[in-house]
């Protein structure tokens, strides 16, 4: 359970002058003082001075709240830039302590979870001024995942200018009074939207926290491997620490089985390392305050763009999680699985969907052979099992009106080739839509049908890409899975000027045949390695 820093601080109020090494010694011995506080004193207080006679209210550190990854990055900077001395074990302990005492609430982290979940090709919907002033070097999420008062935001602006003076004369810096705008407009905006708001945090700390111990049912999907379902068993392994067993299966038949360990930060931030067969995965999940749902992503540690979007539900509570496959063509029959936990009661798949046969009836899976009536129009149907409802859980379609490749814009990076950085792949999905009532594609009433199996290919993006013969050098896309693997890093003597294997591609998905054939395109930039890969990009 999360302890409140304030209560510990109140116990330890002492005049600053008394905080000498000799005075500290007896305090170390008292059992209540946990390792995190000790580290703050030993590793940070040398530079960050205690304030207002409160030995554990330290300059800068006590005036911000952020995610575990955010704290990790700040401390890593202390080491790299300021020479702070701290071992990896100590750093882990301190990150845990700071995220537990000065973290973000579930509501605060919710809008920006994509960055924690390493959705590297997510396109941010940016606030225009932040986009120009701040989120041109890093994501807006890096900003939105912090809480500070105005003074602290101001220190951050000054630190940026001091650390990276080029901020004023690089693009979108030299055409304006960057520092003036940052201090007079951006800081007030940040204070208003991302102020310290200690009371929000205190409310979260004071609320009861759920435990993740028990059995969970997982559903999800992974580009290239399709729908996923599995079971995760979580057992205690110390305070906020857990061991887990996971088994699961993808729609393509591949199965996963393995073990891992997890740590919960801030009362809900689940981070796990899991070895499944030969692959090492990381889970970044958020547990809901009721403690009966996990939401997030499980990705390959060495290949963060490849991962499973996950939802999990407690095995002992009723829930309806997913239908797989989640779409059916009008006039056709097929098998579907309805997945959840403690499923009981009548199954209803919506008007026009007839159950031909019940193939399996279990608590966690109901497998059915169903038929969609001919002539049904494209629509999303609510699926019900007993009391449980999954809005839009099954989509029926009479034709695909449009196709979109997701992500619409992606970056892959050359790698290996004797260098230290691995290739960074890109994974695409073909999302099919119905035009909706207005019959026009690309409008608000479009109906998402589902992710379709597609034929994948590459083409040069523009004239430059043709002239540079990018297609011959940048890498290959798997025709079936839509996963792009870039070529090796380093100069290539076969290319003009012996340049590297970078380039610009169109990624083309094609679904259906003849008159029903649909095609869609995305843009793919294949570029050089990124050498600095912090957890929050």
Residues that bind ligand HEC in the complex, under the rule CB under 6 A? 43-44, 46-48, 60-61, 64, 70, 73-75, 77-78, 81-84, 86, 94, 133-134, 136-138, 142-143, 146, 155-157, 159-160, 164, 167, 182, 186, 534
Q: Minimum distance from CB of 116 to ligand HEC (Å)?
A: 14
Question: For ligand HEC, which is the closer residue by CB, 48 or 233?
Answer: 48
Q: What is the smallest separation between the CB atom of 16 and ligand HEC, expressed in angstroms?
A: 18
Residue closer to ligand HEC, measured from CB, 52 or 290:
52
Q: Which is nearer to ligand HEC, 73 or 411 (CB)?
A: 73
The nearer residue to ligand HEC, 180 or 514, going by C-beta atoms, is 180
CB of 537 to ligand HEC, least distance (A): 10
Size of the chain, expressed as the number of residues it contains: 537
Half-sphere exposure of 331 (CA within 13 A, CB side): 6
DSSP string for residues in 205-270:
HHSPPP---EEEEEEEEETTTEEEEEEEEEEE-STTEEEEEEEEEETTS-EEEEEEEEEEETTTEE
Measured distance CA(233)–CA(337) in Å, rounded: 22
* Identity of the residue, 186 or 474, whose beta carbon is nearer to ligand HEC in the bound complex: 186
Name the minimum Å distance from CB 160 to ligand HEC. 5
On whether the CB atoms of residues 13 and 54 are closer than 8 A, the answer is yes
> CB within 8 A of 330, min separation 6: which ones?
352, 372, 373, 374, 375, 376, 377, 396, 397, 398
Least separation, in Å, of the C-beta of 139 and ligand HEC?
Answer: 10
Burial class (CB in 10 A: 0-12, 13-18, 19+), 531: exposed
Q: Least separation, in Å, of the C-beta of 103 and ligand HEC?
A: 13
Q: Of 129 and 457, which CB lies nearer to ligand HEC in the complex structure?
A: 129
Smaller CB separation from ligand HEC, 28 or 164: 164
Give least dist CB 301 to ligand HEC, A.
20
> Residue 146: beta bridge partners?
66
Which DSSP category does 40 fall into? I
* Local structure of residue 35 (DSSP, 8 states): H
Distance, CA of 170 to CA of 164 (rounded, Å): 10
Q: Is 159 helix (H, G, I), strand (E, B) or coil?
A: helix
**What is the rounded CA–CA span in Å between residue 537 and residue 530?**
11
Partnered with residue 65 across adjacent β-strands are 147
As measured in angstroms, the least distance from the Cβ of 304 to ligand HEC is 18
Nearest to ligand HEC of 137, 358 (CB atom): 137
Secondary structure (3-state) at 44: helix
| Cβ proximity to ligand HEC, 133 vs 205, nearer residue | 133
CB of 417 to ligand HEC, least distance (A): 26
């Amino acid at each position: 359970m999360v302890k409140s820093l304030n209560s510990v601080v109140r116990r330890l109020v002492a005049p600053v002058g008394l905080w000498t090494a000799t005075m500290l010694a007896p305090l170390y011995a008292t059992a209540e003082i946990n390792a995190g506080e000790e580290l703050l004193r030993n590793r940070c207080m040398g530079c960050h001075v205690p304030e207002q006679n409160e030995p554990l209210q330290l300059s800068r550190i006590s005036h911000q709240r952020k995610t575990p990854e955010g704290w990790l990055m700040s401390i890593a900077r202390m080491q790299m830039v300021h020479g702070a001395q701290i071992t990896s074990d100590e750093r882990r302990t301190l990150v845990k302590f700071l995220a537990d005492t000065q973290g973000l609430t579930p509501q605060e982290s919710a809008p920006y979870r994509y960055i924690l979940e390493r959705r590297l090709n997510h396109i941010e919907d940016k606030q225009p001024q932040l986009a120009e002033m701040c989120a041109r070097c890093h994501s807006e999420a890096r900003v939105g995942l912090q809480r500070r008062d105005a003074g602290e935001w101001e220190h951050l602006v000054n630190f940026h200018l001091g650390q990276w003076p080029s901020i004023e004369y690089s693009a979108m810096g030299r055409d304006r009074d960057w520092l003036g705008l940052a201090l007079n407009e951006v800081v007030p905006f940040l204070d208003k939207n991302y102020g310290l708001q200690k009371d929000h945090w205190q409310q979260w700390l004071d609320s009861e926290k759920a435990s993740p111990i028990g059995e969970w049912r997982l559903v999800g999907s992974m580009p290239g491997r399709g729908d996923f379902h599995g079971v995760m068993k979580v057992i205690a392994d110390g305070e906020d620490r857990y061991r887990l067993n996971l088994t699961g299966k993808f729609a393509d038949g591949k199965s996963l089985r393995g073990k891992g360990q997890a740590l919960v930060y801030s009362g809900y931030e689940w981070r796990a390392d899991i070895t499944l067969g030969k692959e090492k995965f990381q889970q970044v999940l958020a547990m809901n305050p009721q403690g009966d749902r996990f939401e997030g992503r499980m990705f390959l540690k060495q290949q963060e763009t490849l991962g499973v979007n996950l939802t999990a539900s407690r095995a002992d509570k009723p829930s309806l999680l997913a239908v797989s496959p989640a779409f059916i063509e009008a006039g056709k029959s097929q098998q579907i699985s309805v997945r959840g936990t403690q499923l009981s009661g009548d199954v209803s798949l919506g008007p026009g969907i007839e159950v031909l046969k019940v193939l399996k009836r279990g608590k966690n899976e109901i497998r059915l052979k169903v038929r969609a009536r001919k002539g049904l129009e494209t629509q999303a149907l609510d699926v019900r099992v007993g009391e449980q409802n999954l809005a839009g859980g099954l989509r029926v379609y009479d034709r695909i009106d449009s196709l979109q490749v997701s992500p619409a814009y992606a970056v892959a990076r050359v790698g290996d080739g004797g260098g230290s950085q691995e290739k960074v792949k890109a994974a695409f999905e073909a999302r099919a839509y119905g035009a909706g009532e207005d019959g026009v594609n690309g409008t608000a009433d479009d109906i998402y049908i589902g992710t379709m199996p597609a034929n994948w290919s590459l083409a040069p993006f523009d004239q430059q890409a043709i002239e540079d013969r990018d297609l011959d050098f940048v890498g290959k896309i798997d025709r079936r899975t839509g996963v792009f693997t870039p070529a090796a890093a380093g100069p290539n003597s076969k290319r003009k000027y012996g340049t590297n294997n970078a380039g610009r591609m169109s990624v083309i998905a094609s679904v259906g045949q003849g008159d029903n054939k649909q095609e869609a395109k995305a843009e793919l930039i294949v570029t050089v390695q990124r050498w600095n890969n912090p957890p929050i990009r």
